[in-house]
């Protein structure tokens, strides 16, 4: 949803006024329908909100998704490259609008292994 909120700011003069995760921790782990985030969009006109929502929904349906890594979807990851940041994520990250960014979500062990592999690949690529 954070990625989709950012997408809305790229397609309409709209502001993501609020975005908060309500993830309840390990005892109440994520599921396909757990609804962990609340986002609020604001604009000067209802038509602008509709345009922003269309971009948000398009991102959720066609772009931003979790991938199962164990064949059962009990362990999922979100490896998403944002080629051009919108206003929302640029404010959250301190990066300039239009800058690229990887938005990565994974369980702790898988995230550590993935970041280690990415760091090693970067070091090898820069060495050659």
- Number of domains comprising the chain: 1
Q: Which among 73, 93, 85, 95 is positioned nearest to 3, based on CA atoms?
A: 85
pLDDT tens digits for 51-62?
Answer: 999 999 999 999
Query: What pLDDT shows up at residue 60?
Result: 92
Query: What pLDDT shows up at residue 4?
Result: 95
**Cβ of 97: how many Cβ atoms within 10 Å?**
15
With residues binned 3-state (H G I as helix, E B as strand, rest as coil), the percentages for the chain, rounded to 5, are: 45, 20, 35
Angle between the N-to-C axes of helices 2-11 and 46-62, in degrees from 0 to 180, rounded to the nearest 10: 130
Question: How far apart, in whole angstroms, are the C-alpha atoms of residue 88 and residue 127?
Answer: 35
Q: pTM (2 decimals)?
A: 0.79
- The β-bridge partners of 81 are 102
Query: What is the CATH number for 62?
Result: 3.30.70
Query: What pLDDT shows up at residue 23?
Result: 67
Which residue ranges in the chain fall short of pLDDT 70?
23-35
Q: Which domain holds residue 56?
A: 2-127
């Amino acid at each position: 949803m954070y990625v989709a909120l950012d997408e809305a700011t790229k397609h309409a003069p709209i502001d993501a006024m609020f975005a908060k995760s309500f993830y309840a921790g390990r005892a109440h782990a994520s599921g396909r329908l757990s609804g962990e985030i609340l986002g609020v969009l604001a604009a000067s006109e209802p038509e602008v909100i509709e345009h922003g929502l269309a971009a948000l929904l398009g991102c959720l349906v066609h772009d931003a998704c979790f991938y199962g890594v164990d064949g059962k979807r009990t362990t999922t990851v979100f490896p998403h490259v944002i080629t051009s940041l919108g206003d929302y994520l640029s404010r959250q990250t301190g990066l300039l609008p239009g800058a690229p960014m990887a938005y990565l979500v994974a369980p702790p062990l898988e995230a550590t292994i993935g970041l280690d592999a990415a760091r090693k690949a970067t070091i090898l690529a820069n060495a050659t």
